[in-house]
Chains A and B, each alone.
Chain A
Amino acid sequence: MTPKNTEEPVGVGGPGTAAGTDTLPASNRDDAQGMNVVARSQGQLVARRFFRHRGALVGMILFGFVLLLATTSIGWGLIPGWWDKSPTATGPLINGGRPTLGVWPEFLGGGGVAWGEHPFGQDDIGRDYFAVVMRGTQVSLLVAFLVGVVATAVGTVIGACAGFFRGWTEAVLMRITDVTITIPTLVFAALVATIAGRQGIVFLGIFLGLVTWTQTARLVRGEVLSLREKEFVEAARSVGTSAMRIIFKHILPNVIGVVIVSVTLAIAAAVLLETGLSFLGFGVQPPDTSLGRLITDYRTAMMTRAWLFYWPGIFIIAIALSVNFIGDGLRDAFDPRQNRVRN
């Protein structure tokens, strides 16, 4: 345990045992820590637990890498990137468009580590496939972020109101949720996306968010339902605190964990939803492209030029997997009940 200096000790029992706290002055506490945990702010505790979660840490690094690669390589809008080829420019096919990226070092009998002219190869009309995949990643990430944020915002508001006000409000909001759930998400999304897709990817993201909020709403409602029975909320109510104040001051800060976790899970789900829709032809429309569209476009080329099929898939998995792991780490971090028994 890292010795902290100025904070107050709080009693936190270890698993399976009850442990007290000591009264030693701070300066003497270094070795006499024992089971006591020095009080940290909620944020510090969460961060500490998060970074202990190996999967989350790896997910974080992987996601950061993909994000960095996608945003800096081909640039964004007018901002230029470090990669000199554009996703739209065609060029002569070199070596049948085979990827030049090498990852096996020579001393292991591979072709050597190399980046090359076209690391991910070229597509059938000679575009640099690395640039194309980066463009697809950008679009897929943007859409997924939008979906995640919109879905979480809508879901949180609906869930919180339903959980807090109960009665008619709850009945109406939960029936709205039920109605939304009754239409299969992919079908709902396909219809909405066909209508909104023509307006561009930003609209697509927002509209997809408007059909995928139900999970978050249910989660938040459940959390709020249990919170509103807690003593501190009752106490606030008994002294006449207004409903709005209770929601914003007492309840929302406590559901923030659930909300943050559900943002990550919504983003992971959104990546798969968008790519699935694009695969069916209902998502991102040309001239824009996304990882899902790339897979549809080159599905038939799979036996002859497999790289055209692999690269977008690998990026989809990398994004979804890393975000899922981050979400899992966050859930563990926010929910100390799931703390692992150390043995």
Chain B
Amino acid sequence: MSINPPLSPGDKLSTGAESPGSLAEAAEEVHTAYTLADSKPPLDEEVLKVENLTVGFPTDDGLVQAVRGVSYTLRAREVLGIVGESGSGKSVSSMAVMGLLPRNARINGRILYRDRDMLTMRPNEQRALRGEKIAMIFQDPMTSLNPVHTVGDQLAEAVLAHHLVPRRAALTKAREMLDLVGIPQADKRLKAYPHEFSGGMRQRVMIAMAIINDPDVIIADEPTTALDVTVQAQILEKLLEVKDAVNAAILMITHDLGVIAGMAHRTLVMYAGKPVEIGGTDSVFYQPRMPYTAGLLGSIPSLEGEGEDRLRPITGTPPSLVHLPSGCPFSPRCPLATEVCRETEPDLVTVGEDHRAACHHSDRLAEAEDPTAFFRPDAVRAEDEGDEAEGTPGTDGVSRTDEKSEEGR
């Protein structure tokens, strides 16, 4: 991904660990709504580069191709959103970056952290990066903390795993981090156990744990999915805030486009283990060039519009990852699918400035006034030979898609 987004280069990345004082100050400065616009812009420096990553799991039924060739670049201080349904390979690819996949996973490709390939490193070198340079925040804060150790111990443990410092120093650092993520009475809370925290507070602890070693990359795997809606925004805001406090880049994995909208500089959409669209978040959101992205955007319930117009779900379910259909994996569900879609799988092609999509019909989306309208239940399905973007309404759209997919096999 060589195309750089038109963003102004930010300040120089400060080297070395932030002193505790400045971290606390940073926490105080940003008190109210903290948005992407307020946060420090990305730098040109590439911290993480994933090249043609594939992950497979052997099972009784065959090799599950969970990830089929993912490439992306994460620059310092950048937020990259990865969006997809469950099973699209977004979590598996990030777990591969962390080196946390089960032993039976078959991983290929390259995962470069500052030009060092993590896949060919010795296990101990990889472990040294884990939690120190690349940290992770998990989906469910209720189960991600060990119930039998105090929060302070679990935070300190992360420091002690990488630094030869006295336990007391590690606990001091832990307290600073709790301050930073906005947990009141940090001194007291250090001695508390996870079950004494609410879900939102636990996720703050997880964030504190992720940033405690000033990492370069934070992988946040659906960090707000398990939380109350009211807490979600606070957590996201906090994430952006701490990102600037430690000058980290964030890999934001989610199925919720709403999360990405205010959070990510760039967005990668995944489907069936492959990236199908990547670009600046604004271009992807306002000019989707892949019907799946358009479908996802259409499936966000909106307050505007009337009746069926308010919610336009994508029909059908994602394909099997063992026996993928030939051609574009989205074609069975795609209202624009034609013969060519069922025969050849499209590659990512440049469709705009810093914007690439994998679709044979991206031009038709570009022409459409409202790309999400294709998923309207009454919208006409594109004819194989038809040029009309919008035709006469049909009533059997859904079943016809299925029939076509059947013929296509």
Binding site for B on A (CB under 8 A): 1, 11, 13-25, 28, 31-36, 341-343
Contacts and interface: CB of A to CB of B under 8 A. Distances in A.
Contacts of B316: 23
Given A11-B317, A17-B66, A34-B64, A343 B104 contact: yes
B61 interface: yes
Given A19-B87, A341-B102, 18 more contacts: A1-B60, A14-B57, A14-B61, A16-B101, A17-B66, A17-B87, A18-B87, A19-B66, A22-B319, A23-B317, A23-B402, A23-B405, A24-B406, A25-B406, A28-B409, A35-B320, A342-B59, A343-B103
A24 B326 CA distance: 13
Interface string B88-121: 0001100000000111110000000000000000
A14 B59 contact: yes
Contacts of A35: 59, 61, 64, 320-322
Interface string B53-65: 0000111111010
Contact residues of A: prevailing secondary structure:
loop
A62 to B, nearest CB: 27
Given A1-B61, A16-B101, A17-B66, A31 B323 contact: yes
Nearest to A52: B60
A91 B228 CA distance: 83
Interface residues of B, number: 34
Given A17-B64, A25-B406, A343-B58, A33 B104 contact: no
A19 B322 CA distance: 9
A34 B102 contact: no
A140 to B, nearest CB: 40
Given A28-B406, A341-B102, A20 B60 contact: no
Contacts of B61: 1, 14, 33-35
A1 B59 CA distance: 11
B103 A17 contact: no
9 contacts: A13-B87, A18-B66, A18-B86, A20-B87, A22-B318, A32-B320, A34-B319, A34-B320, A343-B103
B313 to A, nearest CB: 14
Interface centre among A15, A22, A33 (most CB of B within 10 A): A22
Contacts of A1: 60-61
Nearest to A18: B87
Contact of B321 (A15, A17, A31): A17
B2 to A, nearest CB: 31
Interface centre among A23, A25, A33 (most CB of B within 10 A): A23
B194 interface: no
Contacts of B66: 17-19
A40 to B, nearest CB: 15
Contact of B62 (A16, A22, A34): A34
Contacts of B333: 23
B51 interface: no
Contacts of B406: 24-25, 28
Contacts of A19: 64, 66, 87, 320-322
Interface centre among A21, A33, A34, A36 (most CB of B within 10 A): A34
B332 interface: yes
B354 interface: no
A342 B64 CA distance: 12
Contacts of A24: 332, 405-406, 409
Contacts of B272: 20
B91 A18 contact: yes
Interface centre among A14, A16, A17, A33 (most CB of B within 10 A): A17
A24 B317 CA distance: 10
B187 interface: no
A16 to B, nearest CB: 5
A16 B87 contact: no
A23 B408 CA distance: 13
A15 B101 CA distance: 11
B85 interface: yes
Contacts of B105: 16
A41 B321 CA distance: 24
A208 B205 CA distance: 53
A208 B400 CA distance: 66
A80 to B, nearest CB: 48
